[in-house]
Structure 1
């Protein structure tokens, strides 16, 4: 959500920032609705003030025996009373249109975000690790996995495409990856572990930007709840509507949850394997911070995600997303892309974004600066994957595959594997 006051004062700057994201200019229509809304509110306030004044004068006129003036004032009050509901309805309609447009617009990109149309124009910041050189034909996880407990056919028979049924040692590996990540984010990186709801209502999805524009990307129950596409929704909304003390900041939260995405618009993409599923697990990181520290927090959270890949010795590259590839709520985003030898390419495994006050305005999440009794400011929010469990499993299977079809377990995961050091083909 955007600050209409900022748009009033900087209409050209606002439209220029939207243009960097490929969005149409919006300042003119927003300011026209804002002016209309404010005029109607003024009309309501003036009408209410005059109604109160006239009502008081009626008694005074009657007390003075001036029945003619009293009757005239009563007629004026009646007319004002009859007109005000219509003006109130007009104001609600105009304000609603204004809020709907503001709510559908994307966040404004940070100044250092490169301009571009799609992922081809993202900028590589750095690489870590050297891809392994294999002395046998490399296979994708979808070819290695079935002999190790990765069952797509059973999942398809009960749920359809983009689901998986993990058995035995493969299920144990997925659990180990998730638990390891959660332990690292809580014990090493300072995030508080949470177990949030995975079903939320409309206002929570609106607060983090999934609604109204991206409703088709998520699943909704018949009772109106939404299945979370990411724990970002639940964790960020934990401060919705609150006024925090400055001393409470920063708040750093993490959770390992199932996530659900309809993958609307992805027909034909990643139809094999675990890369793009309707249901998957992810360790999410969320930070609620003071505006002055959000850029530093962005780097800190990105490093927290990188630490997992480094510990698992998985080569990756860090990408700064261009304006056309960022999520709608983000001001700036770093993607971490892990090396997948089976696909001979890097694939996204984490996305870490700073959102500024965009989500906080939608949630009305504020803090009171120290020493101030009345004034408040909007917090800044950040979110990122720390990491996507399924994609990490894919990376482990492909990078640690052996010629005989087995998969060696990374050293960092051994304490979580119950004595299993290698996944062996059935």
Structure 2
């Protein structure tokens, strides 16, 4: 959530910045609402001060033996007035919060203009997309032919956009998760967390999923408790420090976790309906970092490097792009997309988003910092997929397929799955 004073400061240039991402900020409405709340806060403080003076006057008059009837009536009137003003203050604060909570983060001026994939700026590429002397199959044909992917039974169990992995497919999924976790914890210094996959509304609000993206979430509950299935481990991991003050000298923090993720994909029907690209349930290893704002630029590059490391070790050709301002997520101020080459589609597809949120999420979640000299502020949060298991599995199957219908397992993954090849019949060797 934004500080309204920052948005109203002409130096922030909030209207122009938000317009780059397609958001029309009504600055006049914000200024009027903020002024009304400020005036009510001031009036409440004045009434409290007058009430305190009146109480002292009643006490002093009573000691002198004077008639205090009128003074007591005045004190009662002031007390009632304070109650009215406090109620107005709460109502205006709630109205201001509701206004602010729907405003997305201010995009960095370094982002390119635009709002589509075509407007993204190419940053780097790694590896050559594999050249085949045969017609490459997509992961669905490969997986079903080998018997390691069963979409029909996934649909039978839960409906469209669910899948069942079998045999080598399930082992590949499990091995990928273990490889990613060990890489990020043992080599990149992340602390691993096991977190709930169901969280409450304040937790979803803290990272920016609510209220804007409620239609994209699976909502559930226990008794009278409202709960949501997480769309990414970013939500519970970031909110581990909600409402806390972090010691500035301890930062940065680097956290990771492997969770199941759930997305309704509202409005996406007709898109990526084939296979594992866009599922309602999928596994992911997430990377989250907390730092001071002045550390954010360096931390973003560190985070990006960690996501790229595993793509390189899995021998997957990919590219890095900077998203356009209008295509950047609600909470992000700057985002890199890592896009892996999918031979079955003949194009690059996003496999990881690495984002800097500035202090946007920390303000919403109340994650503060305090330095040794007493300086206070809000933490800077960042996160990236490191990686989504399903899309990584797709890339491995498609990029490492062979003419005989088999798939070679990247060398880095062999110790975790204990086979080097998935044969055309789904057996391993």
- Structure 1 residue 179 displacement after superposition: 1.1
CA contact (8 A) 1:12 1:27 kept: no
1:269 pairs with 2:268: no
CA contact (8 A) 1:170 1:423 kept: no
Query: Corresponding residue for 2:59?
Result: 59
Taking a change above 3 Å as real, the CA distance of residues 276 and 382 of structure 1, as seen in their structure-2 partners, is same
Query: Corresponding residue for 2:168?
Result: 169
Name the CA distance, whole Å, in 2 between partners of 1:16 and 1:275.
35
Name the CA distance, whole Å, in 1 between partners of 2:59 and 2:138.
87
1:389 pairs with 2:366: no
Equivalent residue pairs, number: 422
Deviations 1:192-240 (A, max 9, x none): 1111111111111111000111111111113311111000011111111
Query: Corresponding residue for 2:129?
Result: 131
> If the length of structure 1 is used for normalisation, what is the TM-score?
0.96
Name the CA distance, whole Å, in 2 between partners of 1:86 and 1:120.
54
| 3-state secondary structure, aligned to 1:337 | strand
- Structure 1 residue 24 displacement after superposition: 0.5
Q: How does 1:22-421 map to 2 (within 5 A)?
A: 22-67=22-67, 70-148=68-146, 149-223=148-222, 224-372=226-374, 375-421=375-421
Structure 1 alignment gaps of length 5 or more: none
| 3-state secondary structure, aligned to 2:195 | coil
CA contact (8 A) 2:408 2:420 kept: no
Structure 2 alignment gaps of length 5 or more: none
> If the length of structure 2 is used for normalisation, what is the TM-score?
0.96
| 3-state secondary structure, aligned to 2:284 | strand
CA contact (8 A) 1:409 1:423 kept: no
Deviations 1:222-259 (A, max 9, x none): 33111110000111111111111122101000111111
- Structure 1 residue 12 displacement after superposition: 6.6
Deviations 1:96-146 (A, max 9, x none): 111111111000011201111222211111111111111111111111111
CA contact (8 A) 1:331 1:355 kept: yes
Name the CA distance, whole Å, in 2 between partners of 1:423 and 1:160.
29
Name the CA distance, whole Å, in 1 between partners of 2:387 and 2:63.
77
Aligned structure 1 segments of 4 or more residues deviating by more than 6 angstroms: none
Taking a change above 3 Å as real, the CA distance of residues 260 and 3 of structure 1, as seen in their structure-2 partners, is same
